[in-house]
Each structure stands twice: as structure tokens, then as C-alpha cells.
């Protein structure tokens, strides 16, 4: 062939890639596999070269297809029995179970900027005299759901209460915000608040002055995102939704109130038809009962058409921050109690495994159960907290600021799932090495409960024993699972490549 072209670098590179993937292929198939890939790449190039189709696009396509050699080689490797048994051995290992939860925790941490909400809950410093700050809102005793109070209670409390040093109402929403044509992404948090808000919070403006009646105050993050820190923004107009408002002040960088995201405060008089969440500064040494009594009395005088007595909720800053923990602990206890009743048979079986005939094994099993359950509960706690409080950590928190009980439901369902799964998983593990049992032989029908089964026999892949789960559990013998230990004479059956 006189016009035989020189091997292009893309073809050489593709063949190099194939050679790079070859070690993954089982030795007995490797030569055949390499021949096939090299021949296909060569023919592809020759065909395109002689038909005039050898262009940049085809070069890229050839390179991309050569990368597929890795997938092909990996499939051949994974389809070997020894590799498959090793992979399933690793998957059944108790360390894999713990490592999986550790991985989930680290993934949650990386997705939530290093567990921002959890850190805030545990370590956030209180703002100046925050202990005296109290949030007040409505929560219907039957229907549930957090709602704001009729806004006319705010001036009534301001004038009539002798127990408060200041009070302000807030209405929280998301809206489109723009300045000089620049629009803030993802509709930031807009808080319509009464003029006394910043006085109640005890904060001073970084630039400008807080408006006495109406205007807009930008927090530091909103100022940065919207104007790239232009000091001249004070006195200009910012557009919120369809309306324009005059910017009056910028808050200091250290100030963080409801949200970690950019927040815009629209200062205006909240009229009676608006629903306001209230923040109040309570005088020292005022008891909750006294405060509740006085505020309820004044509120009922102003808004006689509302029965506020049983609906008002009070929470200090610290209580608001720690409310996830307050939800999580009872949710876990509830799940544990529920599990104790419904899974009492499983607990009995687990107890048998912890009996002192082999203390070391029992201790290892107990440790594994505690570690696994603890890690799974930590994943639920942190995951739900970070997801629901991505915006804010205090009272009006959660994904939608105003639906506080949402987190409690997440915790109830999450902890219930963890406890039930943890017990079911423990039952399905070898009593000695704690690997998940293998080779299930179904001799009955699927159980009627989630994660349950009936009529099954399973072996430990290392040959430690056999677990017999009967088809029907007789009422006189609820403790019917049978663990049959296998002695060394059975070992030969379970020899496999390590």
C-alpha cells in the first residue's frame, strides 16, 4: 500500500488507552480483548481516512469510544465469580455499613457548607442581651402550623404592656429584588417589619440611618450581592416585586437575624390585616406565665374576634435555636418505644445473641448495634436539620419560614425508619462476625411488615452458622428464629478466595 498514512496521534492515544485498561481484563481473555479493540480502532480510522470522513469530530469520537474500553474491561473484571464474591463480601461487612453512614454524613456536611445549621445550633453566640429576646407567634392547637398574629397587636403591646422594653412585628416572604437593573438570584428573603425592629434587636446601622416610618434596610450579604458593596446605595431606590423603595441603611456584617441568606428589610407600618410574627424584648425577671397573661389580655382586647389565648406560642432566642434538639429527642424516644412494642420478638432474638456464653462476641454485637444506630440517627438529625434550616436557624426557620413543625415530622419518620431498619438489619447478620447473612432460601412467603420476611434460611458466608426463620411464628413461641452454630467440620463448604 504506497499511500498508507502514518498512524495519527489520536489513534495511537486511543490504543494507549486500551492498553491502559487491559490490566483490568482477566488474564485468559486479555490477549483476545486487546486484539479486538486494536483492530476496531484501526479499521475505524482506515475506513474514515479512505472515505474522506477523518475530521476533528471523528477524532474526538474515536477518543471517546476508546475511553469505553475501561467500562468494557471493568465489566469483564466484575463478571468474574471471584471478584463478585469479594464485592458481595465487602458489601456484607459490618465495616461497610458503618463506612456508608460515615460517607453519608460527610456528603451532608459537604452539601451544607460544613453543617452550617448544626454548628449554628450548637455554637452560635447570642446577640447582645439576646436572652431577653422572645419570639411570639400563633400555632393552632388542633390544626397545627405556625402563623403570624394580627398585626394590630404589635402597637397595642408596645403601648399597653408594662413587661416589654420593645416589640416589633415581621412578615416574612420571598420576592424579586433588583437594584439598577441587577436582579438578586433565587428571590431572596424579604422581611416587612415595623420601624421598631432594629431598636428591639439592639443593632446599629453600618451606613445610613434606620427609617423612622418607611424605607428599606439591606443586610450585609444583600448589600454585597446586590450592589457589590457600593456605599452610594443609601438614598437610591431598590425594586421589590413591583414597588420601588428608598434604601435607608445597611446593616453591619456581624448582624445575622433570621436568615443566613441575603435579607432585605422593608420597614413600614404593619396594618391590622397583615399577619406578623413578633419579636419582643422582655424586661428582666419577668416570668413566662406573667408575660403570657398580660400579652394575651391586651391581644384579646384588640382583636376580640380571634381566640388567641390558646394559640400563642412564646420562645426565647436560645429555645428557638435548640428547638431541633427538643424535637429530635422525643421523636427518637417515640420511635424506640414504638419499636419495643412492635419488634419485641426481634429484641428477644437480639438479647439471646447478647447472652454471656461469649462475652467478646456479645460486646462486639452490642457495639456494632449502637454505632450503626447512632450513625444512622446522626445522619437523620443532621440531614433533616440542614435541609429544613438551609435558610435560617431560629424560630421562623425551616425550608419555608413559617412551617416550624415540618422538622418534627421529618424527625418522627426518620428516627422510626432508623430504629426499625437497625433492628431488622441486626437480625439479618451473623451472630459471630456480623456480616449480613447470605444465600437466602425462601421457604415461605414474604412478611407482611416492611423489612420483614418469613420462611427463610440464611447462611453466614464465612460458615459461622445458619439462621432459620420459620414460615409461621406460633403464638406460644414468639422467639422462634433459630440460630444454628456450625462447627469447624463445615468450614470446607465455605472456603473461598480471600
Which residues sit at the interface with other proteins, rule CB under 8 A? 1, 32, 35-36, 38-40, 42-44, 46, 64-72, 75-76, 79
Least Å from the CB of residue 56 to other proteins: 18
Least separation in angstroms between residue 67's CB and other proteins is 7
User: What is d(CA 185, CA 483) in angstroms, rounded to the nearest whole number?
Assistant: 60
Using DSSP bridges, classify how beta strands 263-267 and 189-193 pair: parallel, antiparallel or unpaired. parallel
d(CA 379, CA 276): 34
- Pick between residue 71 and residue 253 the one whose CB is nearest to other proteins: 71
Closest CB 28 distance from other proteins, rounded Å: 14
Nearer to other proteins, 70 or 306 (CB): 70
- We find the least distance from the C-beta atom of residue 75 to other proteins, in angstroms, to be 4
Query: What is the number of other CB atoms lying within 10 angstroms of the CB of residue 110?
Result: 10
Residue 75 or 367: the one with the smaller Cβ distance to other proteins is 75
Smallest separation (angstroms) from other proteins to the CB of 118: 40
Please report how close the Cβ of residue 60 comes to other proteins at its closest, in angstroms.
13
32 or 301: CB nearest other proteins: 32
Cβ distance to other proteins smaller for residue 72 or 462: 72
> What's the N-to-C CA distance of the chain in angstroms?
53
User: What span, in angstroms and rounded, lies between the C-alpha atoms of 332 and 422?
Assistant: 13
In terms of CB distance, is 58 or 479 closer to other proteins?
58
Cross-strand bridge partners of residue 237: 246
Distance CA 82, CA 84 (A): 5
Taking the complex as a whole, how short is the minimal distance between the CB of residue 127 and other proteins, in angstroms?
Answer: 55
User: Would residue 214 be called left, alpha or beta, if left means φ above 0 and alpha means ψ between -120 and 50 degrees?
Assistant: beta
Q: Please state the closest distance from residue 445 (CB atom) to other proteins, in A.
A: 22
Yes or no: say if 419 and 339 are a contact pair by the CB < 8 Å rule.
Answer: yes
Query: Within 10 A of 389 (CB to CB), how many other CB atoms are there?
Result: 25
- Closest separation between CB of residue 26 and other proteins, Å? 11
Q: How many CB atoms lie within 10 A of CB 444?
A: 14
Closer residue to other proteins in complex, CB, 83/362:
83
Q: What angle do CA 297, 301, 304 make, to 5 degrees?
A: 115
How far apart (Å, rounded) are the C-alpha atoms in residues 303 and 403? 23
CB of 42 to other proteins, least distance (A): 6
Given the complex with other proteins, which of 49 and 409 has the nearer CB atom?
49
Distance, CA of 311 to CA of 26 (rounded, Å)? 71
Q: How many CB atoms lie within 10 A of CB 380?
A: 23
- Our CB check for other proteins shows the closer of 76 and 438 to be 76
Q: At 150, phi and psi to the nearest 5?
A: -55, 130
The contacts of residue 146 (CB under 8 Å, 6+ apart) are: 137, 138, 139, 277, 313, 396, 402, 403, 404, 405
For the chain, give the longest Cα–Cα distance: 105
Nearer to other proteins, 36 or 237 (CB): 36
Distance CA 474, CA 293 (A): 58
Rounded to an integer, what distance in angstroms lies between the CA atom of residue 343 and that of residue 324?
27
Amino acid at each position: 500500500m504506497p499511500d498508507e498514512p502514518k498512524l495519527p496521534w489520536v489513534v495511537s492515544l486511543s490504543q494507549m488507552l486500551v492498553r491502559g485498561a487491559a490490566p483490568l481484563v482477566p488474564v485468559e481473555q486479555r490477549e483476545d480483548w486487546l486484539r479486538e479493540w486494536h483492530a476496531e480502532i484501526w479499521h475505524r480510522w482506515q475506513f474514515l481516512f479512505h472515505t474522506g470522513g477523518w475530521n476533528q469530530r471523528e477524532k474526538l469520537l474515536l477518543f471517546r469510544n476508546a475511553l469505553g474500553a475501561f467500562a468494557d474491561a471493568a465489566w469483564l473484571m466484575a463478571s468474574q465469580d471471584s471478584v463478585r464474591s469479594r464485592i458481595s463480601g465487602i458489601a456484607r461487612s459490618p465495616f461497610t455499613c458503618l463506612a456508608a453512614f460515615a460517607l453519608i454524613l460527610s456528603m451532608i456536611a459537604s452539601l451544607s457548607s460544613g453543617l452550617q445549621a448544626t454548628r449554628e445550633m450548637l455554637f452560635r453566640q447570642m446577640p447582645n442581651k439576646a436572652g431577653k429576646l422572645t419570639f411570639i407567634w400563633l400555632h393552632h392547637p388542633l390544626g397545627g402550623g405556625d402563623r403570624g398574629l394580627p398585626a394590630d397587636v404589635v402597637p397595642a403591646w408596645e403601648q399597653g404592656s408594662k413587661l416589654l422594653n420593645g416589640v416589633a412585628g415581621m412578615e416574612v416572604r420571598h420576592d424579586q429584588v433588583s437594584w439598577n437593573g441587577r436582579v438578586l438570584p433565587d428571590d431572596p428573603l424579604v422581611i416587612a417589619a415595623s420601624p421598631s425592629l432594629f431598636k428591639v434587636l439592639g443593632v446599629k446601622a453600618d451606613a445610613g440611618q434606620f427609617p423612622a416610618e418607611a424605607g428599606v434596610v439591606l443586610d450585609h450579604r444583600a448589600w454585597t450581592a446586590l450592589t457589590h458593596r457600593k456605599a452610594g446605595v443609601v438614598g437610591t431606590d431598590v425594586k421589590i416585586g413591583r414597588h420601588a423603595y428608598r434604601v435607608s441603611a445597611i446593616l453591619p456584617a456581624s448582624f445575622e437575624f433570621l436568615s443566613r441568606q441575603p435579607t432585605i428589610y422593608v420597614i413600614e407600618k404593619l396594618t391590622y390585616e397583615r399577619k406578623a410574627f413578633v419579636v419582643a424584648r422582655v424586661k428582666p425577671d419577668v416570668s413566662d406565665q406573667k408575660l403570657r397573661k398580660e400579652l394575651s389580655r391586651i391581644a384579646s382586647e384588640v382583636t376580640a374576634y380571634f381566640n388567641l389565648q390558646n394559640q400563642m406560642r412564646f420562645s426565647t432566642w436560645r429555645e428557638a435555636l435548640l428547638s431541633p434538639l427538643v424535637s429530635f429527642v422525643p421523636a427518637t424516644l417515640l420511635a424506640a418505644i414504638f419499636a419495643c412494642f412492635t419488634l419485641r420478638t426481634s429484641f428477644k432474638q437480639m438479647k439471646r445473641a447478647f447472652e454471656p456464653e461469649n462475652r467478646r462476641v456479645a460486646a462486639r454485637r452490642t457495639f456494632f448495634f449502637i454505632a450503626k444506630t447512632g450513625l444512622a440517627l446522626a445522619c437523620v438529625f443532621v440531614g433533616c436539620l440542614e435541609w429544613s434550616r438551609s435558610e435560617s436557624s431560629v424560630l421562623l426557620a425551616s425550608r419555608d419560614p413559617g412551617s416550624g413543625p415540618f422538622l418534627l415530622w421529618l424527625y418522627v419518620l426518620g428516627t422510626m425508619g432508623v430504629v426499625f431498619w437497625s433492628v431488622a438489619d441486626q437480625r439479618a447478620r451473623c451472630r459471630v462476625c456480623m456480616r449480613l447473612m447470605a444465600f437466602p432460601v425462601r421457604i415461605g412467603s414474604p412478611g407482611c411488615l416492611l423489612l420483614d420476611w418469613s420462611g427463610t434460611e440464611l447462611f453466614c458466608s464465612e460458615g459461622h452458622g445458619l439462621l432459620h426463620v420459620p414460615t409461621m411464628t406460633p403464638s406460644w413461641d414468639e422467639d422462634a428464629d433459630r440460630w444454628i452454630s456450625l462447627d469447624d467440620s463445615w468450614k470446607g463448604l465455605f472456603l473461598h478466595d480471600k
